[in-house]
Amino acid sequence: MKPPNVIFDNRWGRFVLRAYSVADDPRASDALIAVRIQRQEPLLLRFVEALNKLELSPQQREIAVGLAKGSSNRELAESMGVSMNTVAYHVKQLFMKLDSHDRQQVIAKVLAENIGPAT
C-alpha cells in the first residue's frame, strides 16, 4: 500500500509530502508518523543547473535555455537584441561544443550532465 501523500505548490516550487507510520500500531491515537518532504524540480531548472557544469559563454547559455524552451532563432534574436546571423553563429558553436547535430541532441546532452535523481 502506498503511503498517503499531499502535493502543493507555492512560490518555492512543488512539494510532495508523504506520511509513513513509525509505530507498531499505526491506528493508535498516539502513533508516531514520519513525513518525507520532496521538492519536485521543474525540467527547465534542472537544465539550467546542468548548464552551469559546462564551459559555455553567457550567449551560448542563453541560446541553450532558449532551445530548451522551444524558441526559434527569430525569437531568440528578438529576445537577445541581436541579428539572426548572430544567433545562428552561437547555435553552431553550441552544437560544436556539445558534439550535437540538432536541438534535441543539445538538450539531451546538457541534461545528461546533470547526474542525480530526477524528481
Predicted confidence (pLDDT) per residue in 11-60, tens digit: 777 889 999 888 888 788 888 989 999 887 777 888 888 898 899 999 99
Whether residues 77 and 53 share a domain: the answer is yes
Q: Which domain holds residue 34?
A: 5-40
What one-character-per-residue DSSP string does 61-108 give?
HHHHHHHHHT--HHHHHHHHTS-HHHHHHHHHHHHHHTT-SSHHHHHH
pLDDT band with cut points at 50, 70 and 90 for residue 2: confident
Whether residues 36 and 51 share a domain: the answer is no
Q: Is residue 108 part of a domain?
A: yes
Q: What is the CA radius of gyration of the chain?
A: 21
Quote the pLDDT of residue 114.
Answer: 54
Looking at the DSSP bridge assignments, the partners of residue 85 are none
Residue 91 and residue 68 in contact, taking contact as beta carbons nearer than 8 Å? no
Q: Is residue 118 part of a domain?
A: no
Distance set, CA 71 to CA 57, 78, 94, 114 (Å): 19, 11, 15, 22
Query: Which of 8-12, 99-103, 114-118 bottoms out in mean pLDDT, i.e. has the lowest?
Result: 114-118
Q: Is residue 87 part of a domain?
A: yes
**pTM of this structure:** 0.62
Q: Let me know the angle formed at the C-alpha of 13 by 72 and 61, rounded to the nearest 5 degrees.
A: 35
**What total of structural domains would you count in the chain?**
2
Q: Is residue 119 part of a domain?
A: no
Instruction: Give the CATH number, domain containing residue 47.
Output: 1.10.10.10
